[in-house]
Homo-oligomer: A and B are copies of this chain.
Amino acid sequence: RDESDEKGGCKSLHALQVERQEQAARSVLINCQSRTREKTLLKYLSSHGDIKNYFFYESDDLYAVVEFAKRENVASLLEGAIIPSGSHESAVPFKSRLLTLRNLHTAKSPNQQSGQQCQVQTAFPITELIKNLSREDSIDQQITSLTETYQLTEENTRLRFLVCSLLNDITAAYFPECTIKPFGSSVNGFGKLGCDLDMFLDLDGISGWNVKTPKSGLFLEYQMKQASSARAVTQNILYVIGECVDQFGPGCTRVLKILNARIPLVRFSHKPSGFQCDLTANNRVAMKSTELLYLYGELDPRVRGLVFTVRCWARTQGITSGMPGAWITNFSLTVMVLFFLQKRSPPIIPTLDHLRDLAGPADKCVIEGNDCTFVSDFSKIQLQSNTETLEQLLREFFEFYGTFQFSKMSLSIRKGQEMNKPEMGPLHIENPFETSLNVSKNVNTSQLDRFVALCQESSWLLQQSETNKPKVNEDSYNVLPWGLATLLLPSQVATINTRKK
């Protein structure tokens, strides 16, 4: 619907997705356990078509992502591929673009193992990060460095779209007009290396077409199985796709069907990429919030810097967690940062209501009664000239939430203002598009208290003069933590708080 391309220097997320999807459809994933020389491999692959791009990475094995110039090249490559020979009797003969390279020469020359430069696909260890940050000259530089270290690389993004594309081959079998799109932190600009891969199967590709009944005469209707509700349809489809992934999907393991959740999903591990995958269906509101977060991240570089820093800080301090529970989620945390940036004076980013007011007719979007309209043309957005530095903003962030009236007020990025809390949960963050919902409904008082206490502690730490200057040492490899790095060290708050209870 929003086909807006490059505008004001920024591509809309939708345009970007289309481009990446097309790229992924021309790519294959190759297990290179045979450790063939790079040149030899490329020569072999090139016989099927021009290679536009490729890279190697290591997970459970050595892999290569190879992008061909054309889809036909991939088809040609697959045509020459064989069924695993030894064990083909017990192989499920489902053919995908996940291949294994075999090299009958390896035995003769086992010393070819060197060569490939591998692209790292996992997050940097926190201790290393602390060391690296401490070598920077300013807190601003520390924040930039953290962002650059953690953000998804070009290669990781390609790999994410490729995994979606591989899964798409499974679903397209039954729903050819549908696509699998990544959403959430894989594409919203706030993803950290190693974050999960959220995907959704957009069934509207089908049901949006030809729904109108002709006004007169004869017409044909597809005969279709009826479920008891739209939700039941989603559950049934995810159930079957879950089974397919489980039984046929190469490299897909630990498949879980979580169909009774508010948003039913299929969760699985994609071994060759190392991604933890969550597949949902008909989850269009989540796609819209992803687009919104992406837009905010593109408006001002300080947005991403602050979000990355706060997310990293929160994870290190155990405010967020990899497991579901009463923890604050990364999504809630991001909305909190956005809200904080709207509250600056002058504001660094506009309110969602303002973005809606800027929307053109083509941007109109209502999903299940919720108005999800906002502007897609970035050039229409006029920013105010706030000149605060990242360091200032980080300080203010901790100050802001260290003293926020959570007991009375809720956060709304739609209004860019705190509102009276409609219900009594400890933390209330208005869902931007389904405004009657609270995105942090799961958070309990003790988790909120920890968050507040840690904000206060961090705010205090950043006020100490010795925290704030680089600690240079003779031994430049054993620098002492300073600035942002000190915030990532184990805090006292956890213990204090547990004792208080």
Contacts and interface: CB of A to CB of B under 8 A. Distances in A.
Nearest to A30: B220
A244 interface: yes
Given A94-B175, A174-B248, A216-B105, A221 B89 contact: no
A1 interface: no
Interface stretch (A78-86, A286-294, A454-462): A78-86
Interface residues of A, number: 75
A229 B90 contact: yes
Given A93-B207, A218-B44, A31 B223 contact: yes
A36 B250 contact: no
Contacts of A224: 83-84, 91-95, 250
A99 interface: yes
A482 to B, nearest CB: 48
How many copies make up the complex? 2
A64 to B, nearest CB: 11
A131 to B, nearest CB: 39
A98 B41 CA distance: 47
A47 to B, nearest CB: 10
B240 A206 contact: no
A102 interface: yes
A222 B82 contact: yes
A214 B105 CA distance: 12
Interface in A25-83: 30-31, 36, 40-41, 44, 77-78, 80-83
Interface centre among A209, A214, A225 (most CB of B within 10 A): A225
Interface of A: 30-31, 36, 40-41, 44, 77-78, 80-85, 87-96, 98-105, 170, 173-175, 203, 206-207, 209-230, 232-233, 236-237, 239-240, 243-244, 247-251, 272
Contacts of A211: 82-83, 85, 88
B83 A222 contact: yes
B225 A249 contact: yes
Contacts of A228: 90
A224 B345 CA distance: 58
A230 B87 CA distance: 9
B243 A239 contact: yes
Given A85-B213, A92-B236, A223 B250 contact: yes
B83 A220 contact: no
Given A105-B217, A220-B99, A210 B92 contact: no
Nearest to A79: B210
B83 A218 contact: no
Contacts of A98: 222-223
